[in-house]
Amino acid sequence: MHEFKPKDDALKITIVGGSIGGLCAGVALRGVGADVRIYESHPGPMETRGAGIVVQDDLTTLLQRYNAPALPTTSCRLRRYLEPDGGEGRM
C-alpha cells in the first residue's frame, strides 16, 4: 500500500473511532485531499468483538470511488440467527 502525502495546506481532520463509519469517513476525506488522522482507543486487534462485519454493495462502491484498498472477503453458505422468542432461524 502506498502512503498518502497531503499538501501542506490541506484541511487537517481528526476522526475519533476506528469503526466502519470512521474509516469510511477517513477514506472519503482523504480522497478529496484532506490530511486525516483516525484514532481508536482499543489498543490491539479487536478479534473478540463480534463474528464479522457485513459490508453491502453501496459501501464497497464508495470505497472503490476513493481508491481504497480492496476489502478482504469470505463467502457464507449459511446464516443462523435467533428470533426474539429464543427460536432459531436460517437464511
Q: Residue 31: what pLDDT? A: 86
The Cβ-side half-sphere exposure at 39, using a 13 Å CA radius, reads: 5
Instruction: Give the domain extent around 30.
Output: 1-43+50-68
Q: Is the pTM of this model over 0.75?
A: no
Helices (H), 32-67: 57-65
Residue 54 lies in a domain: yes
Assess if residue 74 is contained within a domain.
Answer: no
What's the pLDDT at 49?
59
Domain assignment of residue 86, yes or no: no
The backbone torsions φ and ψ at residue 38, rounded to the nearest 5 degrees and listed phi first, read -115, 130
Quick: pLDDT tens for 41-66. 877 766 655 556 677 788 888 888 88
What are the grid coordinates assigned to 50, written together?
A: 463480534
Per-residue pLDDT, 10: 92
**Does residue 91 fall inside a structural domain?**
no
Report pLDDT for 39: 92
Name the domain count of the chain. 1
Residue 56 lies in a domain: yes
Q: Tell me if 20 sits within 8 A of 59, measured CB to CB.
A: yes
Share of the chain above pLDDT 90, in %: 20
- Asked whether residue 79 is assigned to any structural domain, the reply reads no
**62 lies in a domain?**
yes
Measured CA to CA, the distance from residue 15 to residue 78 in angstroms comes to 35
